[in-house]
Structure formats: structure tokens, C-alpha cells
Amino acid sequence: MKADQYVVIGNPVAHSKSPAIHARFAELTSQQLDYQRLLAPLDGFGATVRDFVAKGGKGANVTLPFKLEAFALATELSERAKIAGAVNTLKFEPGRIYGDNTDGMGLVADIVRNAGVNLRGKRLLLLGAGGAARGALLPLLQEQPAALTIANRTLAKAQDLLQQANSLSDRCELQTCRFEDLQQPFDVIINATSASINDDVPPLAATVFSKETLAYDMMYAAAPTAFLRLAVSHGAQCRDGLGMLVEQAAEAFALWRSVRPPSGQVLAEMRAALLASQA
């Protein structure tokens, strides 16, 4: 029997580690599936998905720049996808395209389960107000932090996100500000800006870090990002987004296959491979 077909759709998509992650999940859970990269033309996301579904495709991960189009294409949405306004996971069933967003859940799983940092009652700082920050909002608030500050270069976007957060939680103390206005230390600082892509970092005062702070960069690379280097120089503990990537994949895999893969083991393997690639 032909294995069930899954893809990661993006443009570009050649860099995606999702095929390696899902192949390993399938191996470790004895699931028969085939997972490939699928490059969609920038103006052809919908047609690419329909073609894949017509060929019997069962599910897809969606990466840049198509997460908003995937949101629009889905015929049913999870609550967290509705709040994120973006979809990174599609499940195809006869007459139905289910859209989910597992990015924020992946972030929280990596912080709470893998790093062992409980977010309940903590003071959180979220840097950035783009797609990744929006996806993280509900899963972060569900952990019941005491306070969440959203800081962004464009303040209006942080304020929009704050409005959404206000409708999701009446227990968490919520505020927005510019990077330059931050002074107080935070328990957890999550960098959801894309500054790291250019080895840049938002202008943060040294006082936002302490040695108890967990500094988390959603981006990952073999070498620490500029944000993580800054955090370490002020004594904070650091973690990059590789675990988030593996955990969001695990959540998608569980949605498709109703089996939870051993994400901790796969994360350890991915980390070793990433370090070896730089050796």
C-alpha cells in the first residue's frame, strides 16, 4: 500500500528541516508516511495545495510566505489558528481542509517541558509583534503568567496584539512599550523579532536581564544569535528555537497521525547534527 503523503510548502523551501524531522518521527513511531518539500510559486499557493490534495495528499506544513494564505484556504480552523490569524499545519479530509497553528504550542512545549521552566506566575517579555509573536500569544497566556509585556519596533502593532491579549486573559497584567523603554528584569524574554536573521538585536537595556532570566530566541543557528550573545553577556540563561521547530512539528504529527512522537529524542539528534555541521 502507498504510504500517506505529506509535504512542507514554502518559497523558498529547500532549507526546511521538516522532512528530516518527520521522517525520524515516522521511524520512531512505526508510521508509514512519505514527507517531501514542495516549492509553491509565490502566486500559486492555492493551486499547489489543490493539486497535492487531488493526488491524495493527507497533510501539509506551511512556511513563509504562505501562512496567511493557508489561514484563508482552510475550511475549518483551530481556536489557536483563529487567534494567530495564520496557519502552519493543514490536514486534508474529504470535503474539509482543517487549519491549525502549532508554532506557539511548540514554543511553550520547548520552554516548559524541554527547558523545565514553568511560566505560571512569571513575568514575560515578548519582543516582536509579527506572525510568530501572534501565534505565541494564546499558548503563552494559557500558562497563566503574572505579567506579559509586548515590545515592538512599530508600537502600533504591539498595541494591536495587546488588544487581542486583553480579550484572552483577565488575570495577566498586560502592557506594551518600545524596546528603549524597558528597564525592569524579566523571568523569560522571548525574541520573536526577525532581527536575528541579520545578526541584529533590538536595543535592550542590560537591566532587563538577570542571571535567573531565560532568554529565548525563536531563531536557531549553529552559533548563538546576536540576541543570545547579548543575553549571555548579561548573565542570562539562553535557548534557541530549534526545540520550538521540533515541538511544532511533533504537534502537527500528532494531529495527522494521532500518535505523539518522541520529540525530546529527535531534538537531541537535531542538535547534535547542527553542531556537527559546524565542526
Q: Which is nearer to ligand NDP, 174 or 249 (CB)?
A: 249
248 binds ligand NDP (CB under 6 A): yes
Q: Which is nearer to ligand NDP, 47 or 156 (CB)?
A: 156
Q: Which is nearer to ligand NDP, 74 or 127 (CB)?
A: 127
The helix/strand/coil state of 53 is helix
Q: Which residues, 6+ apart, have CB-to-CB distance to 163 below 8 Å?
A: none
In angstroms, what CA-CA distances link 257 with 31, 70, 260? 8, 20, 8
Q: Which string of b and e fits 57-87 if b means at least 16 CB within 10 Å? A: bbbbbbbeebbebbbebbeebbebbebbbbb
Smallest gap, in angstroms, from Cβ of residue 170 to ligand NDP? 25
Active site residue 58: no
| x/- letters, 141..170, toward ligand NDP (CB under 6 A) | -----------xxx--x-------------
Position closest to ligand NDP via CB: 130
Smallest gap, in angstroms, from Cβ of residue 114 to ligand NDP? 13
The sign of the dihedral angle between the CA atoms of 189, 192, 194, 197 is positive
Q: Map the footprint of ligand NDP across residues 75-114, applying CB under 6 A.
A: 103, 106
SS3 content of the chain, % helix, strand, coil (to 5): 45, 20, 35
178 binds ligand NDP (CB under 6 A): no
8 Å CB contact between 36 and 7: yes
202 binds ligand NDP (CB under 6 A): yes
Identify any residues that bridge with 96 across adjacent strands, giving them in sequence order. Answer: 93
57 binds ligand NDP (CB under 6 A): no
Smallest gap, in angstroms, from Cβ of residue 166 to ligand NDP? 19
194 binds ligand NDP (CB under 6 A): yes
d(CA 198, CA 210): 25
CA 152 to chain centre: 18
List the catalytic residue out of 58, 67, 91, 122. Answer: 67
Q: Residue count at the site for ligand NDP (CB under 6 A)?
A: 27
8 Å CB contact between 38 and 14: no
219 binds ligand NDP (CB under 6 A): yes
Where on the chain is the footprint of ligand NDP (CB under 6 A)?
103, 106, 128-133, 152-154, 157, 192-197, 200, 202, 218-220, 241, 244-245, 248
Q: Which sequence positions are flagged as catalytic?
A: 67
